[in-house]
Structure 1
Amino acid sequence: MTPLFKSLSVTLLLGLTGCSEPAQEQTTLDNTTSVNLSNIKQHIKTLASDEFEGRGPLTRGEVKTVGYLSDQYQALGLTGAYNNKFLQPVKMAMVTADQNMQLKIGDLSFTAGKDFTARTKQLQPLIDVRNSEVVFVGYGINAPEYNWNDYKNIDVTGKTVVVLVNDPGFATQDDALFTGNAMTYYGRWTYKYEEAARQGAAAVFIVHETAPAAYPWGVVESSNTGTKYTLMDNNLNASELPVMGWLTLDATEQLFKSANLSYQQLKQQALNDDFKATALNLTANLAFKNEVSHAKSHNVVAKLTGSEAPDEYIVVSAHWDHFGTKQTDSGPKIYNGAVDNASGSAATIEIARILSNMHKQKPFKRSIIFANFTAEETGLIGSEQFASGELIPTKQMVALLNIDGMNVLDGTDYILQYGKGLSQMEDYLSKAASKQGRHVKMDPVPQNGLFFRSDHFSLAKQGVPGLLFMSLGDTDPDYIAHKYHKEADDYSAQWSLGGVKQDIELIVDIASQLANNGDWPKWQADSDFKTRRAQDRAE
């Protein structure tokens, strides 16, 4: 019988205080500051090879990956940024909720998977919510800058909250309401849970509808069952929401009908800022067991030290992880993640080489950190640890340039921008692209909220402005349909890497400017990010 609490052995990971796994082929040191496509091809080919087993966190693939990255940075003459070491420990917990659970609300019983999903980040062997009053709180948003608070005049402490997915702007397509079709962070499911936790709720169930969620129920079910990863604190994550759940639309309509309420009518009322939370006068009961284990993964962090303002940092980042190896009836399947994100990790090494050579010719005034984060694919966990300030206080971080999948095909006459009017980093992007004869093209699917779904967002929440460089499906329509997060995301010797070359040159341009000009890019749109940055800068 498997114990509910266990500690994973991680002797596999070498203790990982340095790196003892040899690099496959180290970058050739030179004095040039131009992009070397041969270097990049070799890095992608190596990191996306079967030998690296899909780069799964807490696996042999991690050992090889962080060893390779560390050795490359060391060969370039960089120093380790974590106590002079290249590896920053990331304490992670793995929580597997027993799916033999049943949600009971009033006289209704709902089946896990078919009707709802539920999980937790609390590191407890048993989650037990009993006789919890059920309340519908519209979109579950508290946004002062939009004069919107769905929690006004109600105390949801210990209660079960039902909320709508996305935000009112998407539902109305009214650009004057939030940001219309473009998702704000208030529309992300992660925000719904965070706000409900701040309000003291015992459980949150987000109502799933395919259009506003941007994915079908099958994605919700697969993403919220099985083993989930989370950061660990010293209090077993007791401050986290006890139950993070989703409800199908059909189950929701049954629930509201049993309370003699109309879901569709209340959903319509929730589009107004004077909406008032509605009690269903029903109680919820849900209990499930968890198997909890814990281990240590690692971010790779390297540094060029500035000559005049060494305690001010520009961060260039990409996540190193992918989905590892999955055992199937037909044998093991390796998810090599060549584009997502071996390409980004390869780019950080090449950018480090170029900037290091520039630094040798004329030292940058500010320091530059090169960070390769763990566990992005399982919840931005490595970047969240980096953003905790353990390594560098975020108030000392000037800006972040984050890469999450590059255009490995031919160059383009545009660069994608994620988010609009968010920060002055967008001005840097526009000017750098213009130098290349390119123009800025807005995210073609703003309703999907991609700005909130990669590692730069962990830093944004702490006030650090940044840019996301992501090119997955815009140049290769087949990629999203057949390769993204699939076994087919493999390296190809036929790639021209013209797009990679363009974007590396652009990132080098922006990073080198910020490393010398003394600017602190500001947030433009009112938000918690802007407030946090203002507080830090005031200090």
Structure 2
Amino acid sequence: MQRSLLALAVASLALAGCSKEDAPPPAAEAPAVSHVAPPPVTDHSFGPEISAEDFAAHVQTLASDEFEGRAPGGPGERKTIEYIQGHFERLGLQPGNGDSWLQAVPMVETTAAPDTSLTLHLGDEARALVFGKEMVIGTRTGQPEVVLDHSELVFVGYGVHAPELGWNDYEGLDVKGKTVVMFVNDPGFHTGDESLFEGRRMTYYGRWTYKFEEAARQGATGALIVHDDAGAGYGWGVVENSWTGPQFDLPTSVDPEPRLPLQGWITQEVAQALFAHAGLDLRAQYQAATQRGFKSVPLNAAISTTLRSSTREAVSNNVLGLLPGRTRPDEVVIYMAHWDHLGRSFGGVGDRIFNGAVDNATGVAGILEIAEMFATQPAPERSVLFLAVTLEESGLLGSKYYASNPVIPLHKTVATINIDAIQPIGPTRDFVVVGKGSSELEDILAPIAAAQGRVLVEESQPEVGMYFRSDHFNFAKAGVPSLYAKGGVDHREHGREYGMELVRDYTANRYHKPGDHFDPNWDLRGIVDDLDALYQVGRELVTSDRWPEWYEGNPFRAAREASMRDAGAN
């Protein structure tokens, strides 16, 4: 899942509640977790069916130490690309980008100096904040040095400008040369007021990516988000792991959106001291910022830093395998998963490789298993593109680049099906659709799930904004109906609490941490069910002339209609 959110809460937190028809039995003990990444599988014979054994072999290899955490631009990328491309070739797929298996994604890699510090000026007091422990900062401009000298701090609530909702936290404010301080999530979150934005369900205005984008549009020099576990959907450790080390962006020549010279996060403890100095109670400001007509508040404080970064321009790669359609090859259904993870840390002691078994070796294994099913069946009417994208953990950049540079036009893209961070909980009664109520793809999935004895449910914690934190979102913004669905937590044999405990354990101990290893004790029966269901959704689309639509009232419906209209499509 997307790093430091970045942008998608924890992937596992999107898992939904269970059916209430049966009281669950006492929770069984969760399987033990291996703390050493097993070596790659080199002698496995893959079969044509979706199977737990084949899936496990893919995950074990991709999440092995040999792949070094699959960081973009490093040796782990080369191994990962070779692995995915090798299996595409074995299956008889065609290169998905003309005569190439790859789509080069230009990137800028920026790494803040290890001695980075940020000075917080509170009147006569100058407090040096520790990088990683009290704050994280960086620049996405590609500049090797960014200097802020007593940049004035201004509290802007949730940092939202939503004209259609009559909301503007920047009303009457000139932030040029200043650094804005804001809360994560959006104004409806801490109140639960369903009339305010979407209540506890996060909108895109609640994503940290949006907040930095808006601060840049407003002309701010810097922006700092106040972290809180509930609003972000994850602890400070996830922020620290995700924002230290190399950070990646698309170059401004490819993505010309305005960018902040400095952006980052501060801890609750730092924020409490900052607000107290200004005579403000932090808790009271959470409530004040949810009121219509909220006005920005000067914090009577400033920050200074000389942020030095090493930068380099490089290229990472999306990997594309194409199964051409027999009668309508220009129409395509896309299965996608991000192959990248956080790489490795060269400091500290102990295990420093972020193997990313669940996040997202499971997704790559999933599209490989589905590709195997398609490749061994009669050729479909429409094409199927298997797309393994890069730089998801850096802001969904690989999918963003593809959506701007598609190999098959988006108005000819029937749908996308995204697979990201599938939890190995075992067979469940529930099937989570992240952003449930979005498109007619759910109408296709529902009877398939019912035949498995499962019911579609929404994510249990919509406040963490999972819909905006995985690669399907870039396609949705462009109007392409997109499905992001995976197994839930209501275990058929052990009940809901058993599944929830596995989710909590993963979130606390492995998500974006070195502990995200493959475990040979995983119960993969539920994942096999998930992949079979998603295969059937795609099969229905590529063997018919159906064009699923966004439901009436969905915000992405207009983009689809405009795309089809502009292309002269029916």
Does TM-score exceed 0.5, indicating one fold?
yes
Tell me: CA distance 1:80–1:110, structure 2 relative to 1, closer, same or farther (3 Å): farther
Q: Pick from 529, 546, 553: which aligns with 1:518?
A: 546
| Distance (whole Å) between structure 1 residues aligned to residue 406 and residue 473 of structure 2 | 17
Tell me: CA distance 1:52–1:217, structure 2 relative to 1, closer, same or farther (3 Å): closer
Tell me: CA distance 1:307–1:156, structure 2 relative to 1, closer, same or farther (3 Å): farther
| Distance (whole Å) between structure 2 residues aligned to residue 225 and residue 145 of structure 1 | 36
1:215 is aligned to 2:234: yes
Tell me: CA distance 1:280–1:299, structure 2 relative to 1, closer, same or farther (3 Å): same
1:135 is aligned to 2:169: no
1:92 is aligned to 2:107: yes
1:201 is aligned to 2:220: yes
- Residue 415 of structure 1 is matched in structure 2 by 431
- Residues 371 and 386, structure 2, Cα contact 8 Å, conserved in 1: yes
- Residues 27 and 75, structure 1, Cα contact 8 Å, conserved in 2: no
Cα distance, 1:423 vs structure 2? 3.3
| Distance (whole Å) between structure 1 residues aligned to residue 339 and residue 43 of structure 2 | 17
- Residues 160 and 205, structure 2, Cα contact 8 Å, conserved in 1: yes
Tell me: CA distance 1:370–1:150, structure 2 relative to 1, closer, same or farther (3 Å): same
- Residue 111 of structure 1 is matched in structure 2 by 128
1:427 is aligned to 2:455: no
- Aligned amino acid, residue 111 of structure 1: A
- Residue 18 of structure 1 is matched in structure 2 by none
Aligned residue for 1:504, secondary structure, equals helix
Listed as ranges, the gaps of 5+ residues in structure 1 are 1-22
Q: Pick from 448, 463, 478: which aligns with 1:447?
A: 463
- Residue 173 of structure 1 is matched in structure 2 by 192
- Residue 505 of structure 1 is matched in structure 2 by 532
| Distance (whole Å) between structure 1 residues aligned to residue 240 and residue 58 of structure 2 | 35
Tell me: CA distance 1:252–1:222, structure 2 relative to 1, closer, same or farther (3 Å): same
The more displaced of 76-85 and 208-217 is 208-217
| Distance (whole Å) between structure 1 residues aligned to residue 509 and residue 519 of structure 2 | 15
Aligned residue for 1:348, secondary structure, equals helix
Cα distance, 1:123 vs structure 2? 0.4
- Residue 15 of structure 2 is matched in structure 1 by none
| Distance (whole Å) between structure 1 residues aligned to residue 430 and residue 192 of structure 2 | 27
1:374 is aligned to 2:421: no
Tell me: CA distance 1:212–1:462, structure 2 relative to 1, closer, same or farther (3 Å): same
Tell me: CA distance 1:69–1:225, structure 2 relative to 1, closer, same or farther (3 Å): closer
Tell me: CA distance 1:254–1:350, structure 2 relative to 1, closer, same or farther (3 Å): closer
- Residue 5 of structure 1 is matched in structure 2 by none
- Aligned amino acid, residue 227 of structure 2: H
| Distance (whole Å) between structure 1 residues aligned to residue 516 and residue 476 of structure 2 | 29
Q: Pick from 338, 348, 354: which aligns with 2:367?
A: 348
- Aligned amino acid, residue 504 of structure 1: L
- Residues 29 and 76, structure 1, Cα contact 8 Å, conserved in 2: no
1:491 is aligned to 2:518: yes
Q: Pick from 283, 286, 292: which aligns with 2:311?
A: 292
- Residue 71 of structure 1 is matched in structure 2 by 86
Query: Comparing both chains, which one has the higher relative contact order based on Cα–Cα distances under 8 Å and sequence gaps of 6 or more?
Result: 2
- Residues 213 and 258, structure 2, Cα contact 8 Å, conserved in 1: no
- Residue 267 of structure 2 is matched in structure 1 by 248
Cα distance, 1:212 vs structure 2? 2.0
- Aligned amino acid, residue 524 of structure 2: L
| Distance (whole Å) between structure 2 residues aligned to residue 237 and residue 442 of structure 1 | 35
- Residue 331 of structure 2 is matched in structure 1 by 312
The more displaced of 378-387 and 467-476 is 467-476
| Distance (whole Å) between structure 2 residues aligned to residue 41 and residue 262 of structure 1 | 51
| Distance (whole Å) between structure 1 residues aligned to residue 160 and residue 92 of structure 2 | 48
Aligned residue for 2:190, secondary structure, equals helix
Tell me: CA distance 1:481–1:514, structure 2 relative to 1, closer, same or farther (3 Å): same
Aligned residue for 2:529, secondary structure, equals helix
1:401 is aligned to 2:417: yes
| Distance (whole Å) between structure 2 residues aligned to residue 151 and residue 401 of structure 1 | 37
- Residues 92 and 296, structure 1, Cα contact 8 Å, conserved in 2: yes
Superposed CA deviations along residues 40-97 of structure 1, whole A, max 9, x for unmatched, are: 3332333233433333332323222211211211222211112221111122222122
Superposed CA deviations along residues 351-394 of structure 1, whole A, max 9, x for unmatched, are: 1121233342xx32x32210112232343232222222253444
- Aligned amino acid, residue 549 of structure 2: P
Tell me: CA distance 1:90–1:278, structure 2 relative to 1, closer, same or farther (3 Å): same
| Distance (whole Å) between structure 2 residues aligned to residue 283 and residue 496 of structure 1 | 52
- Residues 242 and 512, structure 2, Cα contact 8 Å, conserved in 1: no
Tell me: CA distance 1:134–1:452, structure 2 relative to 1, closer, same or farther (3 Å): same
- Aligned amino acid, residue 422 of structure 1: S
| Distance (whole Å) between structure 1 residues aligned to residue 402 and residue 507 of structure 2 | 29
- Residue 13 of structure 1 is matched in structure 2 by none
Listed as ranges, the gaps of 5+ residues in structure 2 are 1-40, 490-498
Q: Pick from 90, 93, 118: which aligns with 1:102?
A: 118
Superposed CA deviations along residues 143-185 of structure 1, whole A, max 9, x for unmatched, are: 3443323233434344322222211211101222222222222
Tell me: CA distance 1:511–1:263, structure 2 relative to 1, closer, same or farther (3 Å): same
- Residue 9 of structure 1 is matched in structure 2 by none
Tell me: CA distance 1:497–1:224, structure 2 relative to 1, closer, same or farther (3 Å): closer
| Distance (whole Å) between structure 2 residues aligned to residue 215 and residue 125 of structure 1 | 30
- Residues 336 and 489, structure 1, Cα contact 8 Å, conserved in 2: yes
| Distance (whole Å) between structure 2 residues aligned to residue 437 and residue 60 of structure 1 | 43
Aligned identity (percent) is 39
Aligned residue for 1:171, secondary structure, equals coil
| Distance (whole Å) between structure 1 residues aligned to residue 267 and residue 425 of structure 2 | 40
Aligned residue for 1:398, secondary structure, equals strand
| Distance (whole Å) between structure 2 residues aligned to residue 222 and residue 339 of structure 1 | 17
- Residues 429 and 488, structure 2, Cα contact 8 Å, conserved in 1: no
- Residue 7 of structure 1 is matched in structure 2 by none
Tell me: CA distance 1:454–1:331, structure 2 relative to 1, closer, same or farther (3 Å): same
| Distance (whole Å) between structure 1 residues aligned to residue 162 and residue 269 of structure 2 | 29
- Residues 100 and 112, structure 1, Cα contact 8 Å, conserved in 2: no
- Aligned amino acid, residue 53 of structure 1: E
**Taking structure 2 as the reference length, what is the TM-score of the superposition?**
0.80
| Distance (whole Å) between structure 2 residues aligned to residue 284 and residue 330 of structure 1 | 32
Superposed CA deviations along residues 482-508 of structure 1, whole A, max 9, x for unmatched, are: 443444443344445311221111111
Compute the RMSD of aligned alpha carbons. Answer: 3.2
Tell me: CA distance 1:471–1:94, structure 2 relative to 1, closer, same or farther (3 Å): farther
| Distance (whole Å) between structure 1 residues aligned to residue 141 and residue 165 of structure 2 | 31
Superposed CA deviations along residues 460-514 of structure 1, whole A, max 9, x for unmatched, are: 3333332223459747344334443444443344445311221111111111222
